Amino acid sequence: MVMSVNSNQRIALLTTVALSILIILLHFPFDGYVTQHRYIVPSFTACPKGDLKEKLRELGAEEFNKALAECQGKFVISDLPPSEWQSKGAAIYWLASPIHTLLAVISIITFGSVWFFAMRSLLLGRP
């Protein structure tokens, strides 16, 4: 079955493809994605308590520095679920999420398909 396409259907098809490509380019997946979250967990239990000068004399410089190093917060890296990934180079913040971009493209394709097939009825009515 060969389907003839009129000019209104061509416009619908071209608009759908152009807007889909535009949305994908605004999402800009070429810079990669933020897939990890880094945060600092402080360690208050290992901190020297009381007068720091007294602790320095008591522990000695090397032990005191080790105690202070353990007192510092430690970086913890956790992986984000795919629903929270963000594109690093998105032009529009809302489109940084792959899910938002996918929903936008699906909406455009749905609207374009309805438009395309709505224009088809114009051909069927004429002999």
pLDDT tens string 12-29: 999 999 999 999 999 999
Q: Which residues of 91-126 are buried (b: 16+ CB within 10 A; e: fewer)?
A: eeeebbbbebbeebbeebeeebeebbeebeeeeeee
Specify whether 25 is located in the same domain as 86: yes
User: Which residue matches tokens 């209104």?
Assistant: 8
Specify whether 109 is located in the same domain as 87: yes
> What pLDDT is attached to residue 123?
47
Other beta carbons less than 10 A from residue 63's beta carbon: 13
- Tell me how far apart the alpha carbons of residues 77 and 98 are, in angstroms, rounded to a whole number: 21
Specify whether 48 is located in the same domain as 14: no
Specify whether 55 is located in the same domain as 74: yes
> Percentage of the chain surpassing pLDDT 70?
84
pLDDT tens per residue across span 37-68: 888 776 666 566 677 677 777 778 787 777 77
pTM score over 0.95: no
Task: Show the domain range for 21.
Answer: 1-32+82-127
pLDDT at 81 over 50: yes
pLDDT at 91 over 60: yes
Pick the residue with more confidence: 120 or 16?
16
